[in-house]
Amino acid sequence: MNERQKKLEKIQVVVDKMPSLSTTVGKVLEICSRADTSPNDLNKVISLDPVLTGQVLKLINSAYYSLMNKVTSLTRAIIMLGLNTVKNLALSTAIIRCIGQAKKSKALPIKAFWAHSIGVGVMAKLLAAERGIPLTEREEYFVAGLLHDLGKIPFGDEYTDVLARAQAIQESLFLIERQTLTIDHEETGKMIASKWKLNAVITDAICHHHTPELAHPDNQALVATVALADFYVCLFDIGYAGNRFPDETNLVHLLEICGLQWNTVVGLSEAVDLEIQKAEIFLQI
């Protein structure tokens, strides 16, 4: 068995030990994938889980949605938020909780890691708006951005050396991973996406945010949007996920796929800061 295979097997052991998503979240994802799902179907599943019910109500009444009147009914919350948003909320909060229970990479401070992840989620959602993506679909961009770097979680202590090397020679972390570890966080992310049975869009964002051209053609624009958001967040040091020097050779290509100008992206800086403050509610749920 070669070195690379050994490393992949070691990572697989870590991933296998990670907590599974709750059965409720599994059911929520399954129900939402059906074409004929009604808010009532979702209500039946979520109402059996008091924790998730509390999270949905807490989120709809938070600054993230800035509603005038307090919502106390779960069904009303589901109708107001929409099935897709509730599905994504359930998924995001469940994953944040699972990562909290799993072995944390000592190399990456978890709070700074989530600050980076939320930054990318928020920016991806804002860029989706700039691209004219319908409101109901933008939450998928937020979740894809929030979860894009999950593959960095299972790395052990040797990741500290990788991060230090990327910093020292001011090179893209993704390239340093491949050179030093022979595996990268897109590959390890694929293992996690597979364990948690994440949908094809989110999986592509986790597995191809450094290589959008390898994503499924239907998902390439979303993955490139997440990649562009990641580039911005790394460049302007929002949170920390180890990549201080994103690969600039990719930027023109990403802007092309997204149909955006760099000055449009940079022009969103105030909106990003504001949205990040609101989105941090996800970490407190």
Q: Taking a C-beta distance cutoff of 8 angstroms, is the pair 192, 185 a contact?
A: no
- CA dist., res. 64 & res. 89, Å (int): 12
pLDDT in tens, 19-50: 888 888 888 888 888 888 899 999 999 999 89
pLDDT at position 153 is 92
- Give the confidence band of 205 by pLDDT, cuts at 50, 70, 90: very high
Q: What is the pLDDT of residue 136?
A: 81
* pLDDT at site 266: 96
Model confidence pLDDT, tens digit, residues 51-64: 889 888 988 898 87
Higher per-residue confidence, 67 vs 72: 72
List, for residues 70-106, the tens digit of each pLDDT value: 999 999 989 888 888 888 888 888 888 888 777 566 7
Angle between helices 39-46 and 50-60 (to 10 degrees): 120
**pLDDT more than 70, % of the chain:** 98
Per domain, the residue ranges of the chain are: 1-18+105-285, 20-101
State which fold the 1-18+105-285 domain adopts: Hypothetical protein af1432 (1.10.3210)
pLDDT band at 265 (very low <50, low <70, confident <90, very high): very high
Task: Using CB atoms within 10 Å of the CB of residue 68, give its burial: 0 to 12 exposed, 13 to 18 middle, 19+ buried.
Answer: exposed
